[in-house]
Amino acid sequence: MARLPWWMGGILMAGLLLMTFSVFGADRPIGASTYVPYFADIIFDLDPEKYSYLKHIENPGAWEGVMLLGALVGGFITSVFITKSFRFSLVPSGWKKYKNDSVLSRLLWSFFAGFIMIIGARLAGGCTSGHFMSGMSQMAISSMIFGTVVMIALIITGKLFYNTKDK
């Protein structure tokens, strides 16, 4: 089987979330956006004493930073040995089909989207992992608000940004 079905993925992800939440595991939720400003502050050499946000994210940033290194290893292993999808590429097939063939266009839009994605996630206090998966699993009202706004913005943008008519 070169790909896990969605229901198997959902069950496994639920198991991982419960293990991470439990006191026998990490006693915390899974999150995946705090590591980005954390790494940015390391790379751009910002002083933790000078910036309050840096102090604020010190612990979750480090935790997610280590988890992210694991995710890179996990994704690399399965892409090489199981799904055989490891390859260097610049433009996704779906982008070519529904947007354009330009490498420059894809890279510029990626950079721009990556930039506002992190600003958005940090403003809301979480991302797909921290809010949608971990937050909604705790039935948090904040995460339900976030999930609803993201879904609406996602689908409107998908409609306006891509050329999906007669394809």
Partner 1 sequence: MDITVKTQGTDLISRLAQMFENVIHQGHGSLALVFLIGIIFGGIIQYTRVDKFEKIAGFAMLKDTIVPKMLFLAVGLTSIGLYFMIEAGYAHYHIKPIIWQGLLVGGALFGISMAIFGKCPGTGPVSIAEGRIDVLVGAIGGLFGGLVFTLYYDDFFKPLMGESLGKLTLPSFFPGHEHVVALIFGVAVTLIAIVIPKIELFDEADLSQLPDDQRPDK
> What is the C-alpha separation between 23 and 25, in angstroms, rounded?
5
Answer for which of 100, 101, 115, 166 binds partner 1 (CB under 8 A) is 115
Q: Which of residues 85-114 bind partner 1 (CB under 8 A)?
A: 85-95, 98, 106-107, 109-114
Residues 33, 65, 35, CA angle at the centre, nearest 5°? Answer: 25
Applying CB under 8 A, does 157 fall inside the site for partner 1? Answer: yes
Helix (H, G, I), strand (E, B) or coil at 12: helix
> What is the C-alpha separation between 38 and 74, in angstroms, rounded?
21
Minimum CB separation of residue 166 from partner 1 in Å reads: 13
Name which of 45 and 166 has its Cβ closer to partner 1: 45
Kindly write out the interface string for residues 124-153 of this chain, putting x where it contacts partner 1 by CB under 8 A and - elsewhere: xxxxxxxxxxxxxxxxxxxxxxx-xxxxxx
3 phi and psi, to 5 degrees? -155, 135
Kindly tell me the sign of the dihedral angle through the C-alpha atoms of 129, 133, 138, 140: positive
Minimum CB separation of residue 100 from partner 1 in Å reads: 13
Q: Which of residues 43-82 bind partner 1 (CB under 8 A)?
A: 43-47, 51-54, 58-59, 61-63, 65-79, 82
> What is the C-alpha separation between 70 and 84, in angstroms, rounded?
19
Answer for which of 14, 100, 102, 166 binds partner 1 (CB under 8 A) is 14
